[in-house]
Amino acid sequence: MQRVTITLDDDLMDDIDRLIATRGYQNRSEAIRDLARAGLVAAGSATAGDGPCTAALVYVYDHEARELPKRLTRDFHAHHDLTQATLHVHLDAHDCMEISVLKGRGEDVQALADHVIAERGVRYGQLVMVPVTPAPTGPAGAHDHGHSHPHAKRSKA
């Protein structure tokens, strides 16, 4: 980790201190690191590249746009290996919002998201990518992150 010295005007520092108090950060460094990460994602320079990632694709579309729901369904079926789950919300008489959880190589996830967002009739779209660090190898399904999961026993029938 590197130590960096920066100069911020008083108003900006006051805003950061309010954020720290609101979100419960332990110190300014943690808050500024999170703000820097969010800024890099917003600028499009922090992507998962060709490494593994999990992402949320949020988009709003006009469900009455010609063939759009069929095109979107086709797009996701063509990339079924990336699609984990989708939540569909009716916003009003014309607009729907979908939130799709995607998982795969960063390049593939980004390409699908770009294609969906560019579809005619999609009014808004944003992809939030989270690079995935490979887990240590161990028994299949084993992981250690502070809690346990009950595992159902399979019966031999």
pTM: predicted TM-score of the whole model, two decimal places: 0.62
Same domain, 113 and 56: yes
Number of domains in the chain: 2
- SS in 3 state form for the chain? CCCCCCCCCHHHHHHHHHHHHHHCCCCHHHHHHHHHHHHHHHHCCCCCCCCEEEEEEEEEEECCCCCHHHHHHHHHHHCCCCEEEEEEEECCCCEEEEEEEEEEEHHHHHHHHHHHHHCCCEEEEEEEEEECCCCCCCCCCCCCCCCCCCCCCCCCC
**108/61 same-domain check:** yes
> Are 59 and 97 in a shared domain?
yes
Write the pLDDT tens digit of every residue in 1-51: 788 898 889 999 999 999 889 888 888 888 888 888 777 766 655 555 678
Is there a domain that residue 141 lies in?
A: no
List, for residues 62-100, the tens digit of each pLDDT value.
988 888 889 999 999 999 999 999 999 999 999 999 999
When comparing pLDDT for 150 and 35, which is higher?
Answer: 35
**Tens digits of per-residue pLDDT, 40-70?**
766 655 555 678 889 999 999 998 888 888 9
Q: Are 63 and 123 part of one and the same domain? A: yes
In a domain, 74, yes or no: yes
> Does residue 4 sit within a domain?
no
Domain annotation covers residue 150 = no
In tens, the pLDDT along 115-138 reads 999 888 899 999 988 877 766 665
**Structural domain of residue 107, as residue ranges?**
52-131
What's the whole-number average pLDDT of the chain? 83
Q: What is the CATH number of the domain that holds 30?
A: 1.10.1220
Same domain (yes/no): 69, 123: yes
